[in-house]
Every structure is written in C-alpha cells, then in structure tokens.
Amino acid sequence: MTTLNRMAFIGNSLPRRCGIATFTTDLQRAVADSRPDLEATIVAMTNHGQIYDYPPTVGFQINDSCREDYIEAANFLNSGKFEAVSLQHEFGIFGGEAGDHIMVLLSRLAMPIVTTLHTVLSEPTTAQRDVLSQIVAVSSKIVVMAEKGRELLRAVYQVPDEKIEVIPHGIPEFEFLEPDGAKAKLGFSNRAVILTFGLLSPNKGIEVMIDAMPSILKSRPDAVYVVLGATHPNLVRDQGEAYRESLIERARNAGVEDHVVFLDQFVDQKTLLDFISMCDVYVTPYLNEAQMTSGTLAYSFGLGKAVVSTPYWHARELLADGRGILVPFGDAAAIGSEIAKLLKNDALRQAMRKRAYSSSRSMIWERTADRYMSVFENAGRRHRLKTIARSDTSTLLRDSHAPPEMQIDHFLSMCDDTGLFQHAVHCVPDRSHGYCVDDNARALLLACALNNPGEQRLPEVLTARFAAFVQHAWNPDTKRFRNFMGFDRNWLEDTGSEDSHGRTLWALGVCALADANPSRRAWAALLFAEVVPTAEKLRSPRAWAFVLLGLDAYCTVAVNDLRAISLRLLLADRLMSILAAVETPNWVWFEEGLAYDNARLPQALILTGVATKTPAYLDAGLKSLHWLVTQQTSVTGQFRPVGTDGFRDKRRPPRAFDQQPLEAAATIAACLAAWRAVSDSEWKVEAARVFAWFLGSNDLSIPLVDLETGSCRDGLHPDRPNENCGGESVVSYLLGLSEIRQIARLSESHATLLPRVA
C-alpha cells in the first residue's frame, strides 16, 4: 500500500462559517490524527472581499474569484510535493460559471485527486454538468456520503461504479448521555427541547416547524423549539437579517414566541455538542428532497438523538429501519404529531435513540478518517499506474526502472499441488471450476519467461507441477491432450479442443528450449516430438499458429528433425492460403471475423518468416498485424482489444466489450516479434501502448492490475471491470510484463536479444 507523507485538502476552512468549512476542518484533523507522520494541509477557499484569521493548518488561500490564485495554488501543491489532494466540492464555493475556476487548479496538479461531492444534482444545468464531468475525469476517486449520490452519478453523469466510494459524513465521538445535565448547563432545565441547528436560510423549513408548535404544545406545554445558528453569510450580505426577523414575527403571530428561541450564534464544536446533548428531539424540516448531505443530521444522529425529518435523500437513508421518523415535506401537522408522540412516550424515544447511537458508531471521525486514508492511498497507487500508462512509451522501454516490478503473489495463490486453477472469485481461487491444460500450458510458458536475466525464477517444484499437468493431460489413446479437469483430479473429457492442443505444443516447444532444468528440457523435446505429428490434422487457424510458435522454439533445439521442419512450412502455408482467400483492401485478415488471441496468427508468420528466411511469411505477418493494430485502437488512441461480446464479423461494426487480458498479452508479443524482425522502433512503441491498457490507459481509465500482488482482473465490461482475477488473466499480464521488462533491459543495455518465450 502506498504510504502518504504530505497531502492537502481543498475547500472552505474554519473560521469561515459554513458546513463545508466545518467538514473540511474536521476531516483534516481526523486524517492528521490518524497518521502522526502525515502532514495534512488545507488550501482554503476565501469568498470575495472577506478576510479570515486562518490557523497554521491552512497553507494557502484562494480568493474564489481570482483565477491567478488557482494557478498559484497548483504551483504551491506541485512544488511542495504533496502526494494526494482531497477536494471538497460544492458549486457555490468556487469562482467562474458553475464554479469552473477550480479546473484551472485541478488541471495543473501532478498528484492524484480524490473529490468529495457535497451535492449531486439530479437535474444539472449544462454548465454544471460540464464542470462536474471535468472534475470526475481528473479525479482518481469520487466520494459521496449517501447511496443516492452513487445512483445519481451512475445514472445522470455516467460515472463508472468503480470510481465511486460511499463514505458517510463523519461525526465526533461522544458518549450516550441523558439530556438533563446539558439542559441545566444551558438554562433549559425542566423543558422538553426540540432543536434545529445550522446556518439559517429559507430552504431549512423553519417556518413549517414554527407552524407545528401549537399542536405540540397541546400535549407538551413545556416544549421549546431552539433554533441555533447564525444567518447564512450570503443571505446577510444580500438581505441583512430580514429572514430571521420574519421567522420571529411568524412565531409571534402563531402565539408561540415564548416557545421558540432563536440563538444567532456560530458555535464551536464543544458548545454545539452541548446543545445537541440537551435536546429531546432533533428536527430537520428541510423543504428540498435534493439534499445529499446534512452535517447537522449526521451529528445529531451520531449523538443518539430521536430525529424527525422530511425525506430528503440523506435523511431517507440514514433514518431508515426505525432509526428515525420521516414526515412529508411542508406538512406542519405531520411534524407536530410525530414530535408530540416522541415527547409523550419516553420508551419510544429511548428505543429510537439507542438504535441511532448504535448504528452510528462506524461514522465516528476516527473510522471515517481510516476509510478516507484507504481511498487516498489506493488513489496514490492508481496514480502511479496511470503515470506509467501515460508516460512516453519509448521511455517505458528504455528505462529499466519504468516497467512495474514482477510480483507473483497472486499467481502463487492460484496454484495448488495439482496446478493452476482456472478461475477465481475476486482474488480467491475458485476450486469448483478445477483446472485446464490451457492455463497450465500458459503457466509453463511463464515459468520459462522468468528464466530470463533480471527475473526471479519460479520455485522448481511449481514449474514441475505445470509440466506434470501437461504430461498427465496427454492421452496416448486419442493422440490428443485433454483440457478440463475437475478439482477431484478427474478428467472431464478424453479429448480437448484443437486450440488447447496447439497451445500445449507451444508450451512444450518453449520448454524444450528455455526451461532451467536440463532434464525437463529433454522431457519437453521428447513429448513434443511424440505429439507434433497430430498437428497436421488440426483445422483451427489458431491451433496452427500455436503450433508454429512451439516449432519456432523446438526447431532451434532439434535442428535435424525434418518432420518438424516440414510441418512448419505446411502450417505457415495454410495461414498464407486462408489470408489470401479472405483478404480484401479493407479486411487484411485470415478469417471472416476477429475472435480471441488474434495477434498470435501474425506473430506465428513473423517468427516463421524470420527463422526460415521466407520474406513472404514475414511480409504477410507484418501486414496483418499492422491492420489488426488499427482495428484495436480507439478514437482516443488507446488499445481497445476486440470484445468477446460477439466477436467481430467484418459485416458488422466491432464490439468494444468485454475486453480481456489475453488479447493484450498476444498483441504485445506480436509487436515485439515484429520489432525484433525489422528493427522498426514503432513496434516497440505499439507494444508499450498495449501494455498501458493493463495500467489504466483503456476505455474506462481503470487499472486492471494490482502492482503489489500481480493480480489482474478478468477484463473490462462496458461500465466496470470484472473483479474476478482468474488464472488466464494473471498469466496474460505477467507474460506481457515479462516481455516489456525484457525489452526495457535490452533497450538500455543494447544487448543481444534472448530467445522468445511468449
């Protein structure tokens, strides 16, 4: 996990009086307290014309209307080597149309950005949608405080679920107390106290609560409604205290002026907690459903208060299942009835209080900070992946430190004493689907690849298991390899597919050349020689290609095997024949459609052309590979493998999903085979572009790999990655990585190329 040393929070900050300022300050404190070695700094948004006495934790101020300040803030963060930024977003706190000045800052940042959205609009204006879409695009993660926020981000803004994290509003740690002590302290002894707090503004619905007071007083004459909070600064600026005065007048006209107390104060947290502690019922009578977050609601709920609220989005989720009471918007009679019921029934009120308090323990700031830190640290890791993915591809292949390290923890976890499991549920091996020779042959290829200089070999016992699986898969009665085996080690078939047969021959050929164990090299050569005659009967073009890849390695060892030499030319000619039969000016391919492992066909011709000194093979391989690369490039220039959701037929448009690691690994190997053959550096650049797909340079901008474990997700769906990390995927990633790492080493040292293994 990436460890952060310096991070910054962009948002309002105390002593500015608003909910965002309180939240930003509380989050900064909680995060700083959670990691003693972490420096957490606030970049404070200052509203035009105001001056605040900020504490030392504020390292930089931005005048919200001054674009130059946003640029200077970006310079401050970049030059200060901050490793992550937490943006608190609310449309009203940034300058420009719909707050678009914030993009002046965000677009210049060199570190990952995690954005907390305090509002998610269901019906944004065009400008608001554009700004939020830009913020989402530059953010590694988007945090919302309610599931409704996730729902809106997906439905309205098309944000992938992978990018969204729901973290509830934090609350202070506070013991469960009866209200009597706080009432005595604040002068409300022997009163039934109803409380609302927060900056005063017309959308809070205070009028409705004032209208409800007469009905409450009929059953609880001792009731008092305390409205704690200063008038919103923007309202004061535009209207003075006219709104507050209208509320006071409303209470007077309703005859409840002695039971409604307005406290025009912006209190510190300690005082606020005393006020919440003293209330019997907390009420949020907001008028607008589209309230994604309410810090006042979260705090009161967290202190174990009986809450009555209108059903705005945050309240609807937080108070579900009896944790509070919801009443219709603007319905004074309903609010009055429910509050009176709670004030008259101590048992009902206490039960609700206890449910709220118990449910809120996961929301205390300490735990909230831990969840945010997990997001920040993962964002740092993702940012590193994207930095590699976006880096100049020639640098990726030239700099031996640029490619990721070879991590095989997940690969090892997918193996047992039989071999490599086919599938996983997330990262957990799925025994129910057993094994297949396809994946164990790929694993044997990986074992050989890791024999290259600069890599750490697999444990000998593990490579031996893959070889043993291949040996056991050979069925001398049918002269073919079996493919699928159950977890109970019973074969599920006598004969596997032609492609699995060809792929196993490929692994045997490479093992005969590149295995670290001389005895196993001899075994592989003997079994290859026994099996290879069956290849003449294969009818699958991919099986032909796989066998040719195996022959490229085997013929280097068995230079006098005339049958192998003859078969090599036979299979290459078959590929040439079907290419000639199908090819058109716009369709330079071997078949009427594109399926899986596509790049292995041109790779096989390229290698065979070089080895046999047959220019026609080489030219056909390069030509078909070049065409395939153009078909697998998105309009933004990223690698987009042919999707499995209906493999492409030349008579219909291509389908982009589902995208799978197998295609990336094959294309990397084919491009590097082309580079080796003709020394055109553009093929190296293409290989690096394809490898960047694993790291997040793809249609969803989501990394498929975990650099710390070496796991690889099974692919990309249209809206999310496939979270399962099976055997084929991890081997595909590691094979692709081994090629990239080898070429990076060779490019730096200008050494002679080593034998190809994938």
Identify whether residues 637 and 662 lie together within a single domain.
yes
- DSSP β-ladder status, 428-436 and 421-425: antiparallel
Identify whether residues 185 and 162 lie together within a single domain.
no
- The amino acid at residue 396 is L
Structure tokens at 732: 């595909």
Is 327 part of a structural domain of the chain? yes
Q: Which of 166, 188, 207 is the last residue of a domain?
A: 166
DSSP state letters, 588-620? -SSSSB--SSTTHHHHHHHHHHHHHT-HHHHHH
Identify whether residues 581 and 470 lie together within a single domain.
yes
Residues 20 and 90: beta-carbon distance below 8 Å:
yes
Please enumerate in sequence order all residues whose Cβ is within 8 A of that of 281, keeping only pairs 6 or more positions apart, or say none: 192, 193, 194, 195, 305, 306, 307, 308, 339, 342, 343, 349
Identify whether residues 612 and 484 lie together within a single domain.
yes
- Indicate if the pLDDT at residue 755 is higher than 60: no
Structure tokens at 283: 């009420």
pLDDT tens digits, residue range 411-457?
999 999 999 999 999 999 999 999 999 999 999 999 999 999 889 99
Structure tokens at 10: 């962009």
Is 201 part of a structural domain of the chain? yes
DSSP state letters, 178-219? -THHHHHHHT-TT-EEEEEES-B-GGG-HHHHHHHHHHHHHH
Buried b (16+ CB within 10 A) or exposed e, 348-383: ebeebbebbbebbeebbbebbbebbbebbbbbbbbb
- Indicate if the pLDDT at residue 642 is higher than 90: no
The residue-averaged pLDDT of 319-332 equals 94
Q: Rounded CA gap, 304 and 299, in Å?
A: 9
- DSSP β-ladder status, 306-309 and 223-228: unpaired
Evaluate the omega torsion of the peptide bond into residue 658 and state whether it is cis, within 30 degrees of 0.
yes
pLDDT value at residue 751: 38
Identify whether residues 467 and 350 lie together within a single domain.
no
Identify whether residues 27 and 55 lie together within a single domain.
yes
- Indicate if the pLDDT at residue 139 is higher than 70: yes
Residues shown for the chain: 758
Is 665 part of a structural domain of the chain? yes
Most confidently predicted of 233-242, 267-276, 311-320, 512-521: 512-521
Residues 7 and 84: beta-carbon distance below 8 Å:
yes
138 compared with 470, residue with greater pLDDT: 470
Q: Which of 144, 166, 188 is the last residue of a domain?
A: 166
pLDDT-based confidence at residue 702 (cuts at 50, 70, 90): confident
- The amino acid at residue 407 is Q
Is 383 part of a structural domain of the chain? no
pLDDT value at residue 385: 60
- Indicate if the pLDDT at residue 752 is higher than 50: no
Is 171 part of a structural domain of the chain? no
Question: Bridge partners of 171?
Answer: 364
- The amino acid at residue 333 is A
Question: Bridge partners of 674?
Answer: none
Instruction: Give Cα separations from 174 to 361, 362, 455, 522 (angstroms).
Output: 10, 13, 54, 72
pLDDT tens digits, residue range 148-174?
999 999 999 999 888 899 999 999 998
Computed over every residue of the chain, the mean pLDDT equals 91
Q: Rounded CA gap, 531 and 528, in Å?
A: 5
Is 757 part of a structural domain of the chain? no
- pLDDT cut 90: percent of the chain above it: 78
pLDDT-based confidence at residue 718 (cuts at 50, 70, 90): confident
pLDDT tens digits, residue range 57-105?
999 999 999 999 999 999 999 999 999 999 999 998 999 999 999 999 9
pLDDT value at residue 388: 57
Q: At what angle do helices 518-531 and 498-514 cross, to 10 degrees?
A: 140
The residue-averaged pLDDT of 549-573 equals 96
Structure tokens at 132: 């939020």
The residue-averaged pLDDT of 310-315 equals 92
Q: Rounded CA gap, 102 and 72, in Å?
A: 12
Output the CA angle 30-54-144, nearest 5 degrees. 40
- Indicate if the pLDDT at residue 648 is higher than 80: no
Identify whether residues 151 and 266 lie together within a single domain.
no
Q: What is the CATH number of the domain that holds 745?
A: 1.50.10.10
- DSSP β-ladder status, 84-89 and 715-716: unpaired
The secondary structure element, H or E, covering residue 142 is strand 141-144
Residues spanned by the domain of 118 = 6-166
Identify whether residues 610 and 712 lie together within a single domain.
yes
Is 332 part of a structural domain of the chain? yes
pLDDT tens digits, residue range 727-745?
999 999 999 999 999 988 8
pLDDT-based confidence at residue 211 (cuts at 50, 70, 90): very high
- Indicate if the pLDDT at residue 669 is higher than 90: yes
pLDDT tens digits, residue range 573-584?
999 999 999 999
- DSSP β-ladder status, 192-197 and 281-284: parallel
Identify whether residues 211 and 116 lie together within a single domain.
no
The residue-averaged pLDDT of 98-121 equals 93
- Indicate if the pLDDT at residue 382 is higher than 50: yes
pLDDT value at residue 757: 38
The residue-averaged pLDDT of 494-505 equals 96
- Indicate if the pLDDT at residue 407 is higher than 60: yes
Identify whether residues 456 and 571 lie together within a single domain.
yes
Q: Which residue has the tokens 């945090």?
A: 143
* First-last CA distance in the chain: 31
Q: Rounded CA gap, 541 and 161, in Å?
A: 39
Identify whether residues 252 and 341 lie together within a single domain.
yes
Q: Which of 166, 197, 222 is the last residue of a domain?
A: 166
CA-based max dimension of the chain: 109
Please enumerate in sequence order all residues whose Cβ is within 8 A of that of 424, keeping only pairs 6 or more positions apart, or say none: 414, 430, 724, 725, 726, 727
- The amino acid at residue 371 is R
Is 365 part of a structural domain of the chain? no
The residue-averaged pLDDT of 298-315 equals 94
Q: Rounded CA gap, 242 and 479, in Å?
A: 93
Q: Rounded CA gap, 127 and 698, in Å?
A: 27
Structure tokens at 223: 């009731």
Q: What is the CATH number of the domain that holds 346?
A: 3.40.50.2000
Q: How many domains does the chain have?
A: 3
Buried b (16+ CB within 10 A) or exposed e, 713-736: bbbbbeeebbebbbbbbbbbbbbb
Identify whether residues 569 and 479 lie together within a single domain.
yes
pLDDT value at residue 747: 66
